[in-house]
Amino acid sequence: MSEFSTAAVYRARQAPARAHYDHAMAHAILDEGLVAHVAFASEAGPVALPMFYVRDGDRVLIHASRKSRLMRALIEGASLCLTVTLVDGLVMARSAFHHSMNYRSVMVHGRGTCLPSAEKEAALALFVERVQAGRSAEVRAPNAQELKATDVLAIPLVDVVAKMRTGGPLDDAEDMALPVWAGVVPIESAYGTPIDA
Amino acid sequence: MSEFSTAAVYRARQAPARAHYDHAMAHAILDEGLVAHVAFASEAGPVALPMFYVRDGDRVLIHASRKSRLMRALIEGASLCLTVTLVDGLVMARSAFHHSMNYRSVMVHGRGTCLPSAEKEAALALFVERVQAGRSAEVRAPNAQELKATDVLAIPLVDVVAKMRTGGPLDDAEDMALPVWAGVVPIESAYGTPIDA
């Protein structure tokens, strides 16, 4: 099982037992999520921007309009943190303090680099493939103007931390007999019936 | 309909037609979400941290272990951006370029202030009430040590932007006859069958 060589400064110190550095887990979480929150320092202070993304091997791709004021910092190579979080359940304990959530998350620290024009079209096809395999060959491909209007940033998967909590509540021994329901309420996300345009 | 007095620097410039500043919409989105991503400048650069939160009138509350290295910046009043995003559907267009997502999001810029000890217990009860109404009266309340270990930060809902995309794909007129399915694939999130501890 190959591992990320995540720098010490980015490794988890809170709840380190929940942190994982193997490629397989991080890749699986990234491949299940649809939206990442990308944090960076904008002119107006820190921003957490929700963005569609796709994993491409050992990097994550995001795309954005070249006109976007917020994206300019990222395009210029600002330091960023990209986080994907999947919420799996509410953990209901016998004490208020031990309530928790089951979740899986990946945090990537790094900088994006703009893909050169020659690589953009293939990269953008991956975003369409992410929502439906085979679809990029069916839809109208981007024209020159659309390609020009869109930048694709690649963020290398180097400084990566996956975190995961699973299982039931961890109550204190003296609370185990309290007459209150304890357990996990799963949260499930699914695709509904497609709506024709 | 009362509106946020969001400062110009935080107002949406990309897709401004999708931006909303009324209290009702932002409150509804915040009340539906469970996890916010909080962006701030940490010692190691920008961070987007997933956090459980609860809305309490015209403020959002987050809580954290006092020992958390990452939280220290927030506890000390660092500038932050708290974003909640609900993903409602995949928007499948006839052209690659017009693929999109239906979503609702709220972005709050501001700073957190630590609640004084006297207000902490009532605030923490709101987190338990958020997962199940009435539950805070049933579970064991936090003891002195637990209260001391936890800080609650209140972030005022002042500089707030809600954004929303709904409806089908917006294809170009010349693509409307292409033989490819177009429409919306809804994404639905639901609670599953509770699992007893």
Q: Please provide the DSSP assignment of B69-105 as one string.
A: HHHHHHHTT-EEEEEEEEEEEEEE-SBGGG-EEEEEE
Comparing CB atoms, the residue among A14, A89, A189 nearest residue B187 is A189
Summarised one tens digit per residue, pLDDT across range B45-65 is 999 999 999 999 999 999 988
pLDDT of residue A156: 98
Comparing CB atoms, the residue among A44, A94, A107 nearest residue B10 is A44
- Alpha carbon distance B121, B124 (integer Å): 5
pLDDT of residue A149: 93
CB A85 within 8 A of CB A105: yes
N residues, chain A = 197
Pairwise CB contact (< 8 Å): A14 & B69: yes
Evaluate whether residue B126 is within a structural domain: yes
Evaluate whether residue A20 is within a structural domain: yes
- Alpha carbon distance A164, A20 (integer Å): 8
Residues contacting residue B7 through CB under 8 Å, at least 6 positions apart: B109, B159
**What is the C-alpha R_g of chain A?**
20
Q: What is the mean pLDDT of residues A62-89?
A: 91
Number of neighbours of residue A196 by Cβ within 10 angstroms: 8
Evaluate whether residue B172 is within a structural domain: no
Q: Is B85 on the interface with A (CB under 8 A)?
A: yes
- Alpha carbon distance B106, A105 (integer Å): 20
Evaluate whether residue B192 is within a structural domain: no
Q: For the whole model, what pTM was predicted? A: 0.97
Number of alpha carbons in the 13 Å side-chain half-sphere of residue A112:
26
Q: What is the mean pLDDT of residues B141-145?
A: 97
Q: What is the mean pLDDT of residues A79-101?
A: 98
Number of domains in chain A: 1
Q: Please list every residue in chain B whose beta carbon sits closer than 8 Å to the beta carbon of residue A142.
A: 95-97
CB A89 within 8 A of CB A182: no
CATH of the domain at B49: 2.30.110.10
Evaluate whether residue A100 is within a structural domain: yes
Pairwise CB contact (< 8 Å): A96 & B141: yes
pLDDT of residue B55: 98
Phi, then psi, of A129 in degrees rounded to 5 = -60, -30
Evaluate whether residue B61 is within a structural domain: yes
Proportion of chain A above pLDDT 90, given as a percent: 90
How far from B39 is each of A27, B47, B110, CA to CA, in Å?
A: 23, 5, 11
CB B81 within 8 A of CB B107: yes
Task: Report ipTM for this prediction.
Answer: 0.97
Q: Please list every residue in chain A whose beta carbon sits closer than 8 Å to the beta carbon of residue B66.
A: none
Interface mutation target, options B6, B128, B195, chain A, most CBs of A under 10 Å: B195
Evaluate whether residue A196 is within a structural domain: no
CB B169 within 8 A of CB B176: no
How many interface pairs between A and B have CB atoms less than 8 angstroms apart?
A: 252
pLDDT of residue B68: 83
Pairing relation of β-strands B59-65 and B79-92? unpaired
Q: What is the mean pLDDT of residues B173-194?
A: 97
Task: Provide the domain limits for residue B105.
Answer: 14-165
Summarised one tens digit per residue, pLDDT across range A171-192 is 999 999 999 999 999 999 999 9
pLDDT for A69 beyond 80? no
- Alpha carbon distance B91, A194 (integer Å): 10
- Alpha carbon distance B157, A40 (integer Å): 21
How far from A118 is each of A52, A121, B86, CA to CA, in Å?
A: 22, 7, 34
Q: What is the mean pLDDT of residues A107-111?
A: 98
- Alpha carbon distance B181, A132 (integer Å): 11
Evaluate whether residue A151 is within a structural domain: yes
pLDDT of residue B59: 98
Pairwise CB contact (< 8 Å): B10 & A68: no
Please return the burial class of A156, using the count of CB atoms within 10 Å of its CB with bins 0-12, 13-18 and 19+: middle
